[in-house]
Chains A and B, each alone.
Chain A
Amino acid sequence: DVKVTQSSRYLVKRTGEKVFLECVQDMDHENMFWYRQDPGLGLRLIYFSYDVKMKEKGDIPEGYSVSREKKERFSLILESASTNQTSMYLCASRGRDFSGANVLTFGAGSRLTVL
């Protein structure tokens, strides 16, 4: 089974701090994603990466950046955290399943609170 690991499940940070959210996948997938999940808004795509050092903005990239130096690791960076970035952050990796279909596999999520 594909494993997507988000190392920090719960974080509490202060306004203005720099925050790193790490995500690692173990199946050599090329495509990785960061979503933000808020009640009533569903999942919104922040950034995705289709290869090492390649990235593309999603629907809500403002206030975020990403880094993909190695294929297995995709990091989300909040340069200066703000209270409106308090949210659940979900990382996903995309690759072919047993049927040959491209599917997303999600990590368990990182719940960030910014005070």
Chain B
Amino acid sequence: AQSVTQPDIHITVSEGASLELRCNYSYGATPYLFWYVQSPGQGLQLLLKYFSGDTLVQGIKGFEAEFKRSQSSFNLRKPSVHWSDAAEYFCAVGVEGGSEKLVFGKGTKLTVNP
């Protein structure tokens, strides 16, 4: 069965600093990979996804992520963080073939200091 690990429960960065959130997955076949963001009291919003092709994917709000098969990773990055990026971020993996079920990591909470 597939699984997702987000090693960092909580990260604090200063506004304007760069950001990298880590995600490692476990699955034998080609995965579908997602990053979602959740603002306080809200549902999850899709930031970006990887299905195939270019391993560097661009998303909304200036985020990008890189799929590295050799490291089973899909880390999320942003070159300059804004205060409005403070939220919780979830990585998720689905299986090739369009499985109905996604498996989510436990999330990384991002705090942005002024």
Contacts and interface: CB of A to CB of B under 8 A. Distances in A.
B105 A103 contact: no
B104 A109 contact: no
A42 B109 CA distance: 11
Contacts of B28: none
Interface string A72-115: 00000000000000000010101000010111111111010000
Contacts of A111: 41
Interface stretch (B19-27, B42-50, B63-71, B76-84): B42-50
Contacts of A50: 100
Interface residues of A, number: 27
Interface in B1-47: 9, 32, 34, 36, 41-46
A104 B41 CA distance: 18
A90 B34 contact: no
Question: Which of the four size classes fits the interface of chain B?
Answer: 20 to 34
Interface string A45-82: 10010100000101000000000000000000000000
Interface in A14-39: 31, 33
A42 B102 contact: no
Given A41-B106, A42-B104, A101 B43 contact: no
A103 B42 contact: no
Contacts of B42: 108-109
Contacts of B104: 42-43
A46 B41 CA distance: 20
Closest 8 CB pairs of A and B: A42-B106, A106-B43, A43-B104, A106-B44, A108-B43, A42-B104, A109-B43, A101-B51
Given A43-B104, A90-B44, 14 more contacts: A31-B100, A40-B106, A42-B90, A42-B104, A42-B106, A43-B90, A48-B100, A99-B51, A102-B32, A103-B34, A103-B49, A104-B46, A104-B102, A108-B41
Interface of B: 9, 32, 34, 36, 41-46, 49, 51, 90, 94, 98, 100-102, 104-107
25 contacts: A4-B43, A6-B43, A33-B100, A41-B106, A42-B104, A42-B106, A43-B104, A48-B101, A50-B100, A56-B100, A58-B101, A94-B100, A99-B51, A101-B49, A101-B51, A102-B32, A102-B98, A103-B34, A103-B46, A106-B36, A106-B43, A106-B45, A107-B43, A109-B42, A109-B43
